[in-house]
């Protein structure tokens, strides 16, 4: 592993003009690690944005197959990061080595998946309506549409996924695939990790001949505002808190030229336990749900934070088993001291609410998070109490017991937007699920049946998004190949000579891609 310099990455070089030094810490012990990082100055942030802007004209014209080679080179460099790198990430995040190794594989596989998208060519969205000069009463001009990258993208690293949602994570991969240079804002919780991955991206860019400035990275608290407000930045990708995401959305909207912010923010990921499923396997559901709530110390954006069920003897038995299992779980170290403090504050708000009762979990002590279970009165959902809608990031969940199915539907109507919604159902339950699914698809981006929301497959059909406040734009996803759509925009050519058209729209179809020609999908050339 190379030496950690702690300098910002700008236009293929390193810069450390600032006077503020930032420290990296061991997440387990809280001790300072032997790395310091120089916070970017406003001039360095501007230089990074301008470097991305300078790279954009040439990078967006790099053939898709060549961009695919760049992404694959990034993947290879990330895979080559060795055991010393894994150990470093473990120290900065307290995540186990197996988790980091798996996340490294997911990160590189995301890059390779977007390389496949580039080679397929469907991301162009090519549409051609040939001229119809003889059409009456109005002739039709020759119209051709395809999609291009929007321009430089600012990406903010997430705290809970130091690799897969960070420096070379999904937002960065999607933006680079779309032809958009990136300025990445490193997360303060794992700055040394970010530097190692940034080095890997820069090596890949150099090996594949990408323009300098295709990837830039800055350190520091508060520097994100300068970045989002810079006129060269054309879109923002963010994974984090509702407060942070809203602040970025408001900044971006207040610019002289407003830009989109694709922010993944807050979700409590409701799990609905239907009666026949509880009758058949209540104890098994309690065990499985406990595992999902506590996976990764509850530090997943899809962690189930709300459990709903219809009151019955089976529900009561389930709840007793669930509480016993939650009580038996050990404390875990969270990502950093700030995350633990946020968790403790969230628990205090739940404990202080008169409509919420604590069911299981030892008192918080020391620097580890202890699992907790609460039960809330259904009136909090029916009457629109906001506390129950707030995500508590960590190993806890809230159970709500409803009187009957009609009350369940009313409670669900009161839910805000979610990343996921889960139905635990048996065959006899499924006959009456149609109205539940119709309601839940208005509330969430991903609906699960007899599964648990923690664990997000990276593939073409995945949706990791949802209505506000789960995300700032429910039309997109931050996981899966559809994520590229966020950083593309359509352009239409009217009566343009064939020689001047981009290859994706030329008559001969030199890229060999499928195109919608006069309403028919085809990969053939035009006559």
Give dist(CA 16, CA 39) in Å, integer: 8
> Choosing from 264, 314, 391, 407, which is the catalytic residue?
264
267 in Cβ contact with 302 (< 8 Å): yes
Asked if omega into 504 is within 30° of 0 (cis), the reply is: no
> Choosing from 301, 314, 391, 407, which is the catalytic residue?
301
Assign residue 213 a region (left: φ > 0; alpha: ψ between -120 and 50; beta: otherwise).
Answer: left
The C-alpha R_g of the chain, in whole angstroms, comes to: 25
| 92 catalytically annotated | no
Length of the chain, in residues:
527
Nearest to 162 by CA among 182, 188, 190, 186: 190
415 in Cβ contact with 422 (< 8 Å): no
3-state secondary structure of 388: helix
Cα separation values, 211 from 54, 103, 295, Å: 9, 28, 41
DSSP character at residue 333: E
268 in Cβ contact with 389 (< 8 Å): yes
Percent of the chain that is helix, strand, coil (3-state, to 5): 40, 20, 40
DSSP character at residue 383: T
215-218/182-185 β-pairing: parallel
485 in Cβ contact with 331 (< 8 Å): no
3-state secondary structure of 439: helix
Alpha helices (H) in 7-63, listed in sequence order: 42-60
Nearest to 60 by CA among 153, 125, 170: 153
| 90 catalytically annotated | no
305 in Cβ contact with 269 (< 8 Å): yes
Tokens at 160, concatenated: 């809970």
**Residue 261: other Cβ atoms inside 10 A:** 24
Contacts 24+ apart (CB under 8 A), 102-105: 103/161, 103/162, 103/163, 103/164, 104/78, 104/79, 104/163, 105/79
**Residue 148: other Cβ atoms inside 10 A:** 18
Nearest to 494 by CA among 140, 126, 147: 140
End-to-end CA distance of the chain: 56
**Residue 423: other Cβ atoms inside 10 A:** 21
Give dist(CA 248, CA 459) in Å, integer: 28
List the catalytic residues.
264, 301
């Amino acid at each position: 592993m190379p030496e950690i310099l702690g300098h910002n990455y700008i236009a293929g070089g390193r810069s450390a003009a600032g006077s503020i030094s930032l420290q990296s810490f061991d997440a387990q012990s809280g001790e300072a690690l032997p790395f310091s990082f120089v916070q970017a100055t406003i001039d360095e942030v501007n230089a990074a944005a301008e470097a991305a802007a300078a790279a954009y004209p040439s990078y967006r014209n790099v053939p898709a197959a060549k961009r695919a080679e760049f992404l694959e080179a990034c993947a290879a460099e990330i895979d080559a990061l060795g055991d010393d790198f894994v150990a470093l990430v473990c120290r900065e995040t307290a995540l186990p080595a197996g988790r980091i190794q798996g996340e490294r594989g997911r990160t590189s596989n995301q890059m390779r998946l977007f390389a496949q998208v580039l080679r397929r060519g469907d991301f162009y969205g090519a549409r051609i309506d040939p001229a119809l000069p003889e059409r009456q009463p109005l002739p039709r001009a020759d119209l051709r549409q395809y999609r291009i990258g929007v321009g430089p993208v600012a990406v903010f690293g997430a705290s809970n996924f130091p690799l897969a949602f960070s420096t070379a994570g999904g937002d960065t991969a999607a933006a680079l695939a779309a032809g958009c240079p990136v300025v990445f804002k490193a997360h303060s919780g794992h700055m040394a990790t970010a530097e190692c991955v940034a080095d890997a991206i820069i090596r890949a860019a150099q090996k594949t001949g990408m323009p300098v400035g295709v990837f830039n990275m800055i350190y520091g608290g508060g520097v994100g505002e300068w970045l989002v407000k810079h006129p060269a930045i054309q879109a923002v990708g963010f994974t984090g808190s509702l407060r942070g995401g809203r602040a970025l959305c408001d900044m971006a909207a207040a610019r002289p030229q407003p830009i989109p912010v694709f922010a993944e923010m807050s979700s409590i990921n409701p799990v609905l336990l239907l009666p026949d499923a509880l009758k058949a396997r209540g104890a098994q559901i309690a065990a499985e749900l406990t595992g999902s709530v506590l996976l990764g110390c509850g530090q997943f954006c899809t962690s189930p934070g709300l459990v709903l069920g219809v009151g019955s003897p089976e529900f009561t038995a389930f709840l007793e088993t669930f509480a016993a299992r939650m009580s038996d779980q050990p404390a875990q170290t969270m990502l950093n001291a700030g995350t633990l403090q946020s968790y403790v504050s969230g628990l205090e708000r739940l404990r202080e609410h008169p409509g919420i009762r604590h069911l299981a979990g030892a008192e918080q002590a020391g620097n580890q998070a202890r699992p907790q279970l609460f039960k809330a009165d259904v009136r909090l959902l029916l009457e629109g109490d906001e506390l129950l809608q707030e995500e508590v990031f960590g190993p806890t969940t809230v159970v709500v017991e409803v009187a009957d199915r009609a009350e369940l539907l009313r409670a669900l109507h009161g839910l805000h937007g979610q990343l996921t919604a889960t139905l635990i159902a048996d065959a006899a339950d499924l006959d009456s699920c149609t109205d539940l699914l119709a309601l839940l698809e208005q509330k969430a981006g991903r609906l699960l049946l007899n599964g648990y929301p923690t664990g997000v497959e990276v593939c073409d059909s995945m949706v990791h998004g949802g209505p506000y406040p789960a995300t700032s734009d429910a039309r997109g996803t931050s996981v899966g190949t559809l994520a590229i759509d966020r950083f593309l925009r359509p352009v239409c050519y009217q009566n343009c000579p064939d020689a001047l058209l981009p290859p994706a729209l030329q008559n001969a179809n030199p890229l060999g891609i499928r195109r919608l020609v006069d309403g028919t999908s085809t990969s053939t050339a035009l006559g």
